[in-house]
A and B are shown apart, each in its own frame.
Chain A
Amino acid sequence: MDILDIAIIGGGPAGLTASIYAIRSGLKAVIFDKGIYGGQANQAPWIENYPGFDEISGMDLMDKMRAQAMKYVEIKDSENVESITKDDRNFIVKTSKEEYHFRSVIYATGSVHRRLGAPGEGRLLGKGVSYCATCDGFFFKDKKVAIIGGGNNAATEAIYLKKLGTDVTIVHRRDELRAEDSHKDTIVEMGINVVYDSVVEEILGENMVEGIRLKNVKTGDISDLNFNGVFISIGDIPQTELVKDMGVDIDDSGYIVVDKAQRTNIPHFYTAGDVSGGFRQIITACSEGAIAANSAHEDLAKPYWT
């Protein structure tokens, strides 16, 4: 059986960049991707902080990265990785179709949207509850929506929806948005409403979203507001299911613990991008992917622990 140098799990910015660096440094690598073609970065309506592009949509940027990576690497996107185990020499990646052996792994599976956990959220999913403004914003043109969250993603989605012609209200649990100032300024300029100090108690509606029940965290007051849609943007959960049994160190927030060289506590097992925490930007995911590939290369040539 062929034993390749690196399995890259995940085809977002981290995994794609890792593949470019790995193969250019002479390693044999394969990407396993769930088929989302670029991961969560795809869902960014636009990106203004990736140098080289004044403004580019997440999908366009990821198409370019993917096309570039595919000049080098094979992307296996029709088979799902079911488990990663380790014998005394190699990593065994078992997919829905086959079993593969690798000398090292770069784990870059990213994260999934965090759920609010409010009653009505699951029941009204697709009936006004959404986690993706770029996907679903169009259906709410000329309607009234609430964005739940206060970070950069929530702010970008609010601005995106407002530009589409949607009546937008941001609902945030604190007394100030966490989003960067440039977004905050735009929110004020565009006249986007912000409700501070409020958490969602319930998403209301029989068959469709009709509104939300809010609780003011300072006064305890309860109020019902009418909305046609609720976009939830309250952060992400790192996807670490595949590595839990391997004994990979995970921190209290659920992120894989890495050193500056993107090494985990398991030799030849690296991680990059959202799943390793940190700043969680496209540019840092790329950077971490490049560093992980370099560390993998160095360790295969001369392991640091010998």
Chain B
Amino acid sequence: MMKMDNELERIRKKKLEELMMSTEWPDKPQEVKDENFDDFVKKYNVVLIDCWAPWCGPCRMLGPTIDEIAGEYKGKVAFGKLNTDENRDIPMRHSIMSIPTMLFFVDGKLVDTAVGALPKNTITEKLDSLLN
């Protein structure tokens, strides 16, 4: 068991290094999956994950807002999009029962959750308070 844990840790570190090396700071939301979710939220200080699915109307409404904010907050907040249709583990872990749901992380820890297609300034106010 111990050996396996070490092995997992080694793989995780390697993947994380690869991630760090491969991308610069993104100015648009990155696609995040169950597998790389933890690495992604730990890689940046402040992270917003937009949990969505293709069949969800309000998610479509929120999408362009998130894209716009991602451009404006480049270098300060990293944005990810998680498709809840294709990824089941993360929604289950965070007890997501409604989409769109936004998850806010600081230093890898979940600090806030918001449900629904919220207006842009409500989201940026949350981000600003996390940045200060």
A residues at B contact (CB < 8 Å): 34-38, 40, 42-43, 57-59, 77-78, 80, 125-130, 132, 134-136, 138-140, 207-208, 229
Q: List 10 A-B contacts (CB under 8 A).
A: A37-B57, A40-B57, A57-B55, A78-B64, A127-B95, A128-B97, A132-B56, A135-B56, A135-B59, A136-B99
CB interface residues, B 29-48, toward A, < 8 Å: none
Contact B56 A229 (CB under 8 A): no
A43's contact among B57, B96, B101, by CB below 8 Å, is which? B57
Render B88-132 as a binary contact track against A, CB cut-off 8 A, 1 for contact.
000100011111010000000000010111010000000000000
Contact A127 B97 (CB under 8 A): yes
B98's contact among A38, A40, A78, A130, by CB below 8 Å, is which? A130
Tell me the nearest residue of chain B to A77, going by C-beta. Answer: B64
B87 interface residue, CB < 8 Å from A? no
A207→B113 CA distance, assembly (Å): 13
A208's contact among B56, B95, B101, by CB below 8 Å, is which? B95
Tell me the nearest residue of chain B to A78, going by C-beta. Answer: B64
**A77 partner residues in chain B, CB cutoff 8 A:** 64
Contact A36 B61 (CB under 8 A): yes
Contact A126 B116 (CB under 8 A): yes
Contact B98 A139 (CB under 8 A): yes
Tell me the nearest residue of chain B to A129, going by C-beta. Answer: B98
**A126 partner residues in chain B, CB cutoff 8 A:** 96-98, 101, 113, 115-116
Counting contact residues on chain B (CB < 8 A from A), the size range is 20 to 34
A132→B68 CA distance, assembly (Å): 25
Contact B59 A35 (CB under 8 A): no
**A58 partner residues in chain B, CB cutoff 8 A:** 57
**B96 partner residues in chain A, CB cutoff 8 A:** 126, 139
Tell me the nearest residue of chain A to B100, going by C-beta. Answer: A135
B12 interface residue, CB < 8 Å from A? no
B13 interface residue, CB < 8 Å from A? no
Contact B57 A134 (CB under 8 A): yes
**A130 partner residues in chain B, CB cutoff 8 A:** 97-98
Contact A138 B64 (CB under 8 A): no
> How far does the Cβ of B34 sit from chain A's closest Cβ, in whole Å?
16
B14 interface residue, CB < 8 Å from A? no
Tell me the nearest residue of chain B to A62, going by C-beta. Answer: B57
Contact A139 B91 (CB under 8 A): yes
A129→B55 CA distance, assembly (Å): 18
> How far does the Cβ of A54 sit from chain B's closest Cβ, in whole Å?
20
A202→B6 CA distance, assembly (Å): 49
**A36 partner residues in chain B, CB cutoff 8 A:** 57-58, 60-61, 117
Contact B58 A132 (CB under 8 A): yes
> How far does the Cβ of A115 sit from chain B's closest Cβ, in whole Å?
12
B64's contact among A35, A43, A132, A136, by CB below 8 Å, is which? A35
A132's contact among B57, B85, B95, by CB below 8 Å, is which? B57
**A128 partner residues in chain B, CB cutoff 8 A:** 97
Tell me the nearest residue of chain A to B85, going by C-beta. Answer: A138
Tell me the nearest residue of chain B to A40, going by C-beta. Answer: B57
Contact A135 B53 (CB under 8 A): yes
Contact A59 B57 (CB under 8 A): yes
Contact A37 B99 (CB under 8 A): no
B61's contact among A35, A208, A229, by CB below 8 Å, is which? A35
A130→B113 CA distance, assembly (Å): 16
Given contacts A77-B64, A78-B64, A125-B116, contact A38 B57 (CB under 8 A): yes
